[in-house]
């Protein structure tokens, strides 16, 4: 954004206003002028300029008040404030209110030219970044992870869109592979914080020490290996959204620290004494029943109520089977394009088998299976012979066929999960890192499951 960008100058001093206008017009900017804060506000609403230059001291509505009104209308607007007084108090106040920068009169025109170019360039980069975010969000839709015609998914997405407009803390519960992080992304993208950062932390993948450092940052020398200061995820997510996945895995000590941030919006870095204040919207996800964890004494009740202001339940794929054809075709299209293959459809028999399978790994498992079938296909459609044998067997029993047909059918979700882990470990010859990746979980979670199901 350079030539023909629209700049509004608001100043009650006629000579200053005209002089700045002539200078900026000579640089090929489209310049608008106003002689008062009130007129400036009216012109802003009508013209939506790319940048506003406003004097601070004016009769009636001053520059600070105009800045506040503009920022309430659009927090992303660029406002540079001018004053003949140049007091530190004015500078601090204007920057706190969201001014892009602060200049004293008489204005140094070379400094103004550089500042205007820098401000407009930052706006251009931000808009490009937003376009990229929108494109990526659209791609996630295209890949099928959040699509669905079932009433259960439509109701969920309607609730998500409603919740997104608030600043309330959200708890998303659902089995592994159901798309909880994608729901968190949607909440952020449709919120007033969308132009700020979305920061994700996968709690189960980190030890207690590393998790505290990731969340709150640390000071140099805080522990062995802390050679320099680290900015934590809370600070990085300031004004944006922080997503904590698998929050049920955090230790009691970290739960206490997290509770403090939620209560007062402040914390100290590990090894530090300075109190840092942040404004962050928290979205949490869990594949556990946290009510049970509270009853067992493994999760703090006060923290549970803090994060569970809004509760969203993501249904497993077996409860929205009517969405399988739509999801399967979306994945097929995505992986066909990715692998440069002209595959356009799924054979009716293949699709019927996919619809009957209970998908203990949910959408993540469906996506992996579609990718495998697309890669192995030599035709223009996916046929029944490409569907893995264990899934084909399940079309008869209605339950996952993890073992030979003579083996007993798992009777519960935990048993399905156990058998899925056994099957995956067998496929990768016991390599736990690869198994965890295929299952879509962290190594730490896999080890916990192995211990839970006594598979070691």
Claim to verify: residue 155 and residue 285 sit in the same structural domain: yes
Q: 302 lies in a domain?
A: yes
Claim to verify: residue 281 and residue 342 sit in the same structural domain: no
Q: Tokens for 402?
A: 């993890």
CATH, residue 26: 3.40.50.2300
For the chain, the average pLDDT equals 85
Q: 450 lies in a domain?
A: yes
CATH, residue 383: 1.10.8.60
Claim to verify: residue 222 and residue 155 sit in the same structural domain: yes
Claim to verify: residue 286 and residue 157 sit in the same structural domain: yes
Claim to verify: residue 167 and residue 306 sit in the same structural domain: yes
Claim to verify: residue 12 and residue 37 sit in the same structural domain: yes
**Of the candidates 262, 281, 315, which is a domain's last residue?**
315
Claim to verify: residue 442 and residue 336 sit in the same structural domain: no
Lowest mean pLDDT, pick from 20-29, 351-360, 390-399: 390-399
Q: 145 lies in a domain?
A: no
Over the stretch 89-103, which tens digit does the pLDDT of each residue have?
Answer: 776 777 778 888 888
Over the stretch 298-316, which tens digit does the pLDDT of each residue have?
Answer: 999 999 999 999 999 999 9
Claim to verify: residue 283 and residue 214 sit in the same structural domain: yes
Claim to verify: residue 186 and residue 290 sit in the same structural domain: yes
Total number of domains constituting the chain: 4
Q: Which domain holds residue 110?
A: 6-127
pLDDT band at 187 (very low <50, low <70, confident <90, very high): very high
Tell whether the model's pLDDT for residue 144 goes beyond 70: no
Q: How far apart are CA 98 and CA 92, in angstroms?
A: 10
- In the chain, what percentage of residues exceed pLDDT 90? 48
Claim to verify: residue 207 and residue 78 sit in the same structural domain: no
Tell whether the model's pLDDT for residue 28 goes beyond 60: yes
């Amino acid at each position: 954004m350079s030539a023909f960008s629209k700049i509004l100058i608001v100043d009650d001093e006629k000579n200053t206003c005209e002089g700045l206008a002539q200078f900026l017009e000579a640089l090929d900017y489209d310049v608008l002028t106003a002689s008062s804060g009130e007129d400036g506000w009216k012109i802003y609403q009508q013209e939506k300029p790319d940048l506003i230059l406003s004097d601070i001291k004016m009769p009636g509505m001053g520059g600070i008040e105009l800045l506040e009104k503009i920022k309430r209308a659009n927090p992303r607007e660029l406002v540079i404030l001018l004053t003949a007084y140049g007091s530190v108090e004015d500078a601090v106040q204007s920057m706190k209110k969201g001014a892009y920068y602060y200049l004293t009169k008489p204005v140094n025109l070379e400094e103004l030219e550089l500042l205007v170019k820098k401000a407009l360039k930052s706006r251009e980069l931000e808009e490009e970044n937003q376009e990229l975010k929108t494109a990526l969000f659209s791609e996630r839709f295209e890949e099928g992870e959040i699509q669905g015609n079932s009433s259960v998914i439509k109701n969920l997405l309607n609730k998500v869109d409603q919740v997104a407009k608030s600043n309330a803390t959200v708890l998303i519960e659902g089995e592994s592979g159901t798309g909880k992080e994608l729901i968190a992304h949607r909440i952020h993208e449709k919120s007033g914080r969308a132009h700020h950062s979305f920061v994700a932390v996968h709690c189960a993948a980190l030890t207690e020490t590393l998790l505290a450092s990731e969340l709150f940052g640390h000071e140099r020398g805080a522990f062995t290996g802390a050679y320099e200061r680290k900015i934590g995820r809370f600070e990085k997510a300031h004004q944006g959204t922080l997503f904590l996945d698998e929050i049920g895995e955090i230790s009691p000590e970290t739960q206490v620290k997290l509770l403090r941030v939620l209560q007062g919006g402040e914390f100290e870095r590990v090894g530090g004494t300075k109190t840092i204040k942040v404004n962050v919207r928290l979205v949490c996800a869990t594949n556990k029943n946290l009510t049970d964890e509270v009853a067992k004494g493994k999760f703090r009740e006060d923290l549970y109520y803090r994060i569970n202001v809004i509760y969203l339940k993501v249904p497993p794929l077996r409860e929205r089977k009517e969405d399988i054809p739509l999801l399967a075709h979306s994945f097929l299209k995505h992986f066909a394009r990715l692998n440069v293959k002209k595959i356009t459809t799924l054979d009716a028999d293949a699709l019927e088998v996919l619809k009957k399978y209970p998908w203990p790994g949910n959408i993540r498992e469906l996506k992996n299976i579609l990718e495998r079938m697309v890669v192995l296909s030599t035709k223009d459609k996916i046929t029944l012979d490409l569907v893995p044998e264990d899934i084909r067997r399940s079309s008869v029993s209605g339950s996952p066929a993890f073992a030979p047909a003579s083996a007993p059918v798992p009777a519960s979700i935990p048993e399905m999960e156990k058998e899925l882990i056994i099957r995956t470990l067998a496929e990768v010859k016991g390599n736990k890192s690869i198994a965890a990746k295929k299952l879509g979980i962290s190594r730490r979670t896999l080890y916990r499951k192995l211990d839970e199901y006594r598979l070691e």
